[in-house]
Amino acid sequence: MPLHRTRTVCVLAAALALTVTAPAAANAAGSAPGSSAGLREVLFVGNNWDGTADVLESTGDFSRIGRIDVVPDKDERMAEINADPIHWIYFMAIRNSVGEGHDQFVDDMYSTPDGTSVVVSRPSFADVVSLDLATGDINWRFPVSGHRSDHMAVSPDGKRVAVSASTSGKVHVLDIGTGKELGSFATGDKPHENTFSADGRHIWNMSIGEVNTALDATWLDWTKGDRRITVVDATTFEQVEVIDMRERLDAAGLRNHSDAVRPAAFSPDESKLYFQVSFFNGFLEYDVATDRITRTKTLPENPATSTDRTTWVNDSRHHGITMKPDGTKLCVAGTMDDYATVVDRATLRQGPLVTASKPYWATVSGDGKSCVVSESGADRVTAIDFTTGEKSVSVPVGDHPQRVRLGRVEADWSGPRTRR
């Protein structure tokens, strides 16, 4: 590796090498930081096709506390789309491709530090909105560039939110309280996952390329576009590093693996990145300091899963990975294989395969003892005990749950007064 690049990677590794406490690990899983005697921790579950978000207890029986309508302005937005032929074409394209015949009304969400609002990305409306949790009204709305919004990330201090504009190759960074754009940066094709470093100094973006074509054979991988990890300074938004996983995969002898990095999870000291790639039933371990893939974990294939890769949703095979706060266990959503499993990080030995219907995401419970996966094919979320690897509870939610994030609401909150 050239000297200048070695120095860059070492700087990144040093910046990331922080000891993560349990609260910080919760922030990485999706909570807005800050504490107040008047707040309670909850799980937000985005029901993508339903246009709602269920708010659940973050531990225990994960019972539902309330529900939020995330598209209170649906009639207004639809009128705008129907009046603009270009917007209408993209709206229908989203419905019939990534939406599997359904509109995508909520992809990601984070609460504000004071627990009064939740910020939601809405793919079909190509925007981000802040919703008042007391009334259900919209505080602010930010239309993203292009025609679709996607994954988000919140800064460790809870003041900034980064959102992928998937059709424009850009990430917008917004003030979470006002919706004002603080800056933006260019990415590869179809920016997807975003992650802030624990010290808030860097943002990592993973672009997944074109996932909505039927050109899914290995030899056609070159048609999928520019896929890379882009690391930027979270204040200036200047590019710090670009990591092309194609080179790292080839060096590790994994030439037939896609380089489209999907969901990812850092180790507690952020020296290792664990990530999924398109079409692969498993995950990889990447060492930040040495800039190489160090281990690969292949998970079991479900014999009932079709071998026709064009039938796998948005090029996913497995989509969803999270880590226990102490760094000892990983939890993986085996999306197209209909299971989730806990994996020991030291040995990469997997636990029981917990049957789950198209699990789409994995996060950590508020107490750090369970992995929580969204079962998008069964409209429920399921908790899996990190110690035993067994399912502990499942609870029903709305239509097609995807992202699950820890957050906060006011202690006596049970739903908006004027919304369902």
Q: Is 204 helix (H, G, I), strand (E, B) or coil?
A: strand
What confidence score (pLDDT) does residue 294 get? 98
What confidence score (pLDDT) does residue 212 get? 85
Indicate the range of 36-40, 148-152, 239-243, 285-289 predicted with least confidence: 36-40
- Judge whether 113 and 33 are in contact, CB under 8 Å: yes
CA distances from 291 to 7, 158, 239, 269 (A): 11, 29, 17, 16
What confidence score (pLDDT) does residue 37 get? 59
- The whole-number average pLDDT for the span 340-350 is 98
**Sign of the torsion angle spanned by Cα atoms 342, 203, 128, 411:** positive
CA distances from 133 to 18, 73, 392 (A): 33, 15, 29
pLDDT above 80: residue 418: no
Q: What is the CATH number of domain 3-410?
A: 2.130.10.10
- The whole-number average pLDDT for the span 276-305 is 97
pTM for this entry:
0.90
Question: In 3D, which of 59, 124, 112, 35 has the Cα closest to residue 87?
Answer: 124
What confidence score (pLDDT) does residue 97 get? 84
36 pLDDT band, cuts 50/70/90, is low
CA distances from 159 to 86, 96, 178, 228 (A): 34, 35, 10, 27
pLDDT digits (tens, 9 = 90+) for 99-133: 888 999 999 999 999 999 999 999 999 999 999 99
Question: In 3D, which of 140, 148, 183 has the Cα closest to residue 164?
Answer: 148
More confident residue, 36 or 142: 142
d(CA 376, CA 217): 26
